[in-house]
Amino acid sequence: MTDLISPSSQLKGRKSAETRFQWYGRGAIFVSLLFLVVMVGSILTKGVGAFGTTNVAIEVDLGPDAIDPANPADARFEKIVKDALKTQFPEAKKRKDRRMIYGLLSNDMGFELERFVEANPEAIGGTATVWFRASDDFDAVAKGAVDRSLPEDERRMSDKEIAWIDQLTEQGAVERTFNWSFFTNGDSREPELAGILSALMGSALTLLVCFCISFPVAILAAIYLEEFAPKNRFSDLIEVNINNLAAVPSIVFGLLGLSMFLNTFGMPRSSPLVGGLVLSLMTLPTIIIAARASLRAVPPSIREAALGMGASPVQATFHHVAPLALPGILTGTIVGMAQALGETAPLLMIGMVAFIVDVPDSILEPATALPVQIFLWADAPERAFVEKTSAAIIVLLLFLVTMNIIAILLRRKFEKRF
Partner 1 sequence: MATVDTNTPHDALDLVNSQRKKGVEFVVMAILILCSLVAVLVTVGIVLSLIFEAYRFFERIPMTEFLFGTQWSPQTALRADQVAAEGAFGAVPLITGTLLISFIAMCVATPLGLMSAIYLSEYASKRFRDFVKPALEILAGIPTVVYGFFAALTVAPLLRSGGESVGLNVSSESALAAGLIMGMMIIPLISSLSDDVINSVPQAMRDASLGLGATHSETIRKVVLPSAIPGVAGALLLAASRAIGETMIVVMAAGLAANLTANPLEAVTTITAQIVALLTGDQEFDSAKTLSAFALGLLLFVVTLCLNIIALRIVRKYQEQYD
Partner 2 sequence: MSKTAIITAKDVDVFYGDKQALDKIALDIPEYKVTSLIGPSGCGKSTFLRCINRMNDLVPIARVEGDIRIAGQDIYAPEVDVVALRAQVGMVFQKPNPFPKSIYENVAYGPKIHGLAKGKTEMDELVQWALEKAGLWNEVKDRLDQPGTGLSGGQQQRLCIARTIAVKPKVVLMDEPCSALDPIATAIIEELIDELRQNFTIVIVTHSMQQAARVSQRTAFFHLGTLVETGPTKNIFTSPEDERTQNYITGRIG
410 near partner 2, rule: CB under 8 A: no
Residue 266 sits in the site that holds partner 2 (CB under 8 A): no
C-alpha neighbours within 13 Å on the C-beta side of residue 114: 12
How many residues lie near partner 2 (CB under 8 A)? 20
Q: Give least dist CB 167 to partner 1, A.
A: 33
- The CA distances from residue 111 to 75, 114, 356, 377, 403, in Å, are 11, 5, 20, 24, 38
On whether the CB atoms of residues 350 and 267 are closer than 8 A, the answer is no
Burial of residue 72 (CB within 10 Å: 0-12, 13-18, 19+) is middle
**Smallest separation (angstroms) from partner 2 to the CB of 290:** 21
Partner in contact with 301, chosen from partner 2, partner 1, none, beta carbon below 5 to 8 Å by kind: partner 2
Residue 15 or 99: the one with the smaller Cβ distance to partner 1 is 15
Task: Name the residue nearer to partner 2 (CB basis): 102 or 414.
Answer: 414
Nearest one of 273, 215, 250 to 343, comparing CA atoms: 250
CA distances from 327 to 41, 75, 76, 202, 221 (A): 33, 60, 60, 28, 17
- Least spacing, CB of residue 414 vs partner 2, in Å: 11
Is 283 exposed, middle or buried, given 0-12, 13-18 or 19+ CB atoms closer than 10 A? buried
By a kind-dependent CB cut-off of 5 to 8 A, residue 250 interacts, out of partner 2, partner 1, none, with: partner 1
**Going along 62-138, which residue ranges are E strands?**
127-133
Of residues 95, 231, 233, 416, which one binds partner 2 by CB under 8 A? Answer: 231
Closer Cβ to partner 1, 121 or 249, answer by number: 249
Helix, strand, or coil (residue 65): coil
Does residue 177 sit in helix, strand or coil? strand
Tell me the closest approach of the beta carbon of residue 320 to partner 2, in angstroms: 6
Q: Which residues contact 97 (CB under 8 A, 6 or more apart)?
A: 91, 160
User: Shortest distance, CB of residue 323 to partner 1, whole angstroms?
Assistant: 16
In the complex with partner 1, the residue whose CB is nearer, 33 or 163, is 33
125 contact, one of partner 2, partner 1, none, CB 5-8 Å limit per kind? none
CB of 61 to partner 1, least distance (A): 44
Please identify, using beta-carbon distances, which residue of 95 and 231 lies nearer to partner 2: 231
Distance of CA 260 to the CA centre of its chain: 28
Footprint (CB under 8 A) of partner 2, residues 303-362: 303-312, 315, 319-320, 324
H or E element in which residue 175 lies: strand 174-178
Residue 252 or 359: the one with the smaller Cβ distance to partner 1 is 252
Binds 115, which of partner 2, partner 1, none (CB < 5 to 8 A, cut-off by type)? none
In the list partner 2, partner 1, none, the entry touching 31 (Cβ below 5 to 8 angstroms by class) is: partner 1
- Indicate the DSSP class of residue 178: E
Binding-site partner at residue 224 among partner 2, partner 1, none, CB < 5 to 8 Å by type: partner 1
Query: 249 by DSSP, 3-state: which?
Result: coil
What residue 129 binds from partner 1, partner 2, none (CB within 5 to 8 A, per partner kind)? none
Spatial separation of the C-alpha atoms in residues 9 and 7, rounded to whole Å: 7
Q: How far apart are CA 351 and CA 346, in angstroms?
A: 9
Nearer to partner 2, 99 or 417 (CB): 417
> Taking CB within 5 to 8 Å according to partner kind, which of partner 1, partner 2, none is near residue 417?
partner 2
Asked if residue 66 lies in contact with residue 75, where contact means CB atoms within 8 angstroms, the answer is yes
Q: Which is nearer to partner 2, 302 or 403 (CB)?
A: 302
Residues 280-299, interacting with partner 2 (CB under 8 A): 299
Q: Which does 409 bind (CB under 5 to 8 A by kind): partner 1, partner 2, none?
A: none
> Which residues lie near partner 2 (CB under 8 A)?
230-231, 299, 301-312, 315, 319-320, 324, 417
